Structure 1
Amino acid sequence: MKKHIMPLMGLLFLLLVSACSPVRVLNTEAAQGFNLNQYKTFGFMDADSISQDIPAEHIAFLQREVANQLQKRGLTLANSNADLLVNLGVVVQEKTQTRQTDIRSDPPNYVGQRRYTWRTREVEVGKYKEGTISVHLVDRAQNALVWSSEAEAVVPKKNEKVQERIAEGVEKLFSSIPASNTMTN
């Protein structure tokens, strides 16, 4: 009985951990007939178009993580004439977290002579940054987009945590490529 429960507990743990992930994958699309095994080499498109607000070290880390994921899938980094071009996009926006007022936590205000008023309204709670990374894989020979995906998450304040979040986001992006598209070892 224990032999059957232990693998089930491990699977349940993995499901819970992945469900609590702060990274959300959005809009994954693949061209019809896309197969990553068709490509041997990859290279990066010009990263100068990425916003100047993003530190260069984060862009370099993002490129390393994407390169690691593609290398795990059997591709080799090429400096020129790569079969597959990788176009990266990064957007970071400052957002405001709000909450709705509630009669229980925000009682009515007294405005004189038996006039109490209360209205629901949005109250600012804090500010945070939300980042979105997009990865586009382009077939160099056809000059056509063959796969794209986006991931979004809250950007942590600590630099070390930002790199962890980037690594998690890139890994989650590339996990959306079907298993038949990856090399088997």
Structure 2
Amino acid sequence: MRNLLFSTALLLLLLLSACTPATSIQSEPAPGFTLATYRQFAFMEVDTDAEKMGPDFEGHVHFLKQELARQLEQRGLKQAPSVDEADLLINLGIVVDRKVQTRETNIITDPPRYIGQRRYTWKSEEVEVGRYSVGTVSVHLVDPVQNELMWQGTAERIISDKPEKLREQIEKGIEQLVEEMPS
């Protein structure tokens, strides 16, 4: 009985973890790039129209920068007081796409539509079943002396509408992204 209960709990845990949306990480370093080569970093200006992005956008960008700075400082770099003093520049790109989830009706299992005068129709059509947002963060590390892209990475996932959950997702996504950077 105990083995059956343990097996059922393990199966349930595996099913729940399989349903959790994963963060898709992609990275591409320049030949010979390592973070150990650099001492200080600074963020390039994020150029955006904040009014179009929504009321919380500036706060999310600030939190994203803080989290990225914290992760890089754990890897041994320090944040420079100005862009001119940094030997590594960080360019951020942020995209949030609103998407619609649909399903197609099935003429076998879905009931026919009544269109009046004792007439029914059985045609398939797309039905909206939900809306969600996909967030993508791209990070470019640029060497200002050589004026070359040294590393680029992107993190993409379905994001939550709840601010607390979104911050947790940002923390995990940035952590996974920084882990991809060569030491």
Q: CA deviation at 1:51?
A: 4.5
Partner SS state of residue 137, structure 1 = strand
Q: Given the alignment of the two structures, is residue 50 of structure 1 paired with residue 48 of structure 2, yes or no? A: yes
Tell me what 1:59 maps to.
61
Q: CA deviation at 1:156?
A: 1.1
Q: Given the alignment of the two structures, is residue 128 of structure 1 paired with residue 132 of structure 2, yes or no? A: yes
Partner SS state of residue 141, structure 1 = coil
Give aligned pairs, total: 164
Tell me what 2:9 maps to.
none
Q: Given the alignment of the two structures, is residue 176 of structure 1 paired with residue 175 of structure 2, yes or no? A: no
Encode CA deviations 1:48-94: one digit per residue, 9 max, x unaligned: x1351152111110001110111111111102211110111111121
C-alpha separation between the residues in 2 aligned to 1:169 and 1:98?
A: 27
C-alpha separation between the residues in 1 aligned to 2:89 and 2:119?
A: 67
Partner SS state of residue 69, structure 2 = helix
Tell me what 2:71 maps to.
69
Tell me what 1:30 maps to.
29
C-alpha separation between the residues in 2 aligned to 1:63 and 1:165?
A: 14
Tell me what 1:10 maps to.
none
The alignment's TM-score, normalised by the length of structure 1, stands at 0.77
C-alpha separation between the residues in 2 aligned to 1:51 and 1:93?
A: 16
The alignment's TM-score, normalised by the length of structure 2, stands at 0.78
C-alpha change, 1:146 and 1:124, in structure 2 (3 Å) is same
- The question of whether the paired residues in 1 share the 8 Å contact of 2:27 and 2:151 is answered with yes
Tell me what 1:162 maps to.
166
C-alpha separation between the residues in 1 aligned to 2:70 and 2:19?
A: 24
C-alpha separation between the residues in 1 aligned to 2:119 and 2:20?
A: 48
The Cα RMSD (Å) is 2.5
Q: CA deviation at 1:131?
A: 1.2
C-alpha change, 1:72 and 1:175, in structure 2 (3 Å) is same
5+ long unaligned stretches in structure 2: 1-12
C-alpha change, 1:27 and 1:105, in structure 2 (3 Å) is same
